């Protein structure tokens, strides 16, 4: 069954937009991070702290594969790093998978992440200047993977509803 996969950098809105898109389309949605947390009964922060990032990436890959193999039509909100590890980017264009990159500028991401970093272990300890530099470099490094998506929707200056409507247009 068809899968709609939302990807992009931390803070671009994957979890928020997937939820709203699900309400409108009545296609159920799953957030990959939430699925991972439920699977091991630990938060993302706890997994990074206790088991380390490599273990998280392994779980992330396994869980993504499981979701893609499930029989239902679902909307999947990935984690920001999902396409960038374990060749997950090769799964973005498999038969039955429609991937959408939610593309955000450094300014948009910085503005959203500055007060929203505590549950994101990669940036939780960074100050304002470190955050800006980190986002700029990291986004550049990851763009190759994000650009493997079938569709791209720019989210800068768009409300949640406008982004959902932009996604519906590219999916039509």
Ligand X SMILES: Nc1ncnc2c1ncn2[C@@H]1O[C@H](COP(=O)(O)OP(=O)(O)O)[C@@H](O)[C@H]1O
Which residues contribute to the annotated binding site?
A: 11-16, 33, 57, 80, 120, 142, 158
Which partner in ligand S3P, ligand X, Mg ion, none is near 83 (CB below 5 to 8 A by kind)? Answer: none
Which partner in ligand X, Mg ion, ligand S3P, none is near 121 (CB below 5 to 8 A by kind)? Answer: ligand S3P
Q: Using CB under 6 A, which residues numbered 96 to 115 contact ligand X?
A: 112
Spatial CA neighbour of 163 closest among 7, 21, 29, 3? 21
Q: How far is CA 10 from CA 23, 154, 160, in A?
A: 22, 14, 16
- Candidates 4, 21, 37, 81; binder of ligand S3P (CB under 6 A) is 81
What are the residues facing 29 on neighbouring strands?
75
Which string of x and - marks every residue 28-47 that binds ligand S3P (by CB under 6 A)? -----x----------x---
Q: Using CB under 5 A, which residues numbered 52 to 111 contact Mg ion?
A: none
- Residue 120 near ligand S3P by CB under 6 A: yes
Is residue 52 within 8 Å of 111, Cβ to Cβ?
Answer: no
86 Cβ contact partners less than 8 Å away, ≥ 6 residues apart: 57, 58, 60, 61
Q: Using CB under 5 A, which residues numbered 13 to 52 contact Mg ion?
A: 14-15
Taking the least distance from each CB to ligand S3P, the nearer of 3 and 81 is 81
Binding site for Mg ion (CB under 5 A): 14-15
């Amino acid at each position: 069954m068809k899968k709609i996969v939302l990807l992009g950098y931390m803070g671009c809105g994957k979890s928020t937009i997937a939820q709203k898109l699900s309400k409108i389309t009545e296609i159920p949605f799953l957030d990959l991070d939430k699925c991972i947390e439920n699977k091991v009964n630990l938060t993302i922060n706890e997994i990074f702290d206790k088991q380390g990032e490599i273990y998280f990436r392994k779980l992330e890959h396994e869980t993504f594969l499981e979701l893609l193999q499930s029989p239902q039509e679902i909307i999947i909100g990935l984690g920001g790093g999902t396409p960038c590890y374990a060749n997950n980017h090769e799964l973005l264009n498999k038969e039955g998978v429609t991937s959408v990159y939610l593309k955000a500028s450094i300014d948009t991401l910085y503005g959203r992440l500055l007060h929203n970093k505590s549950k994101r272990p990669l940036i939780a300890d960074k100050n304002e200047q470190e955050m800006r530099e980190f986002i700029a470099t990291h986004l550049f490094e990851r763009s190759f993977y994000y650009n493997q998506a079938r569709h791209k929707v720019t989210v800068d200056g768009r409300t949640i509803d406008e982004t959902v409507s932009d996604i519906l247009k590219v999916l039509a």
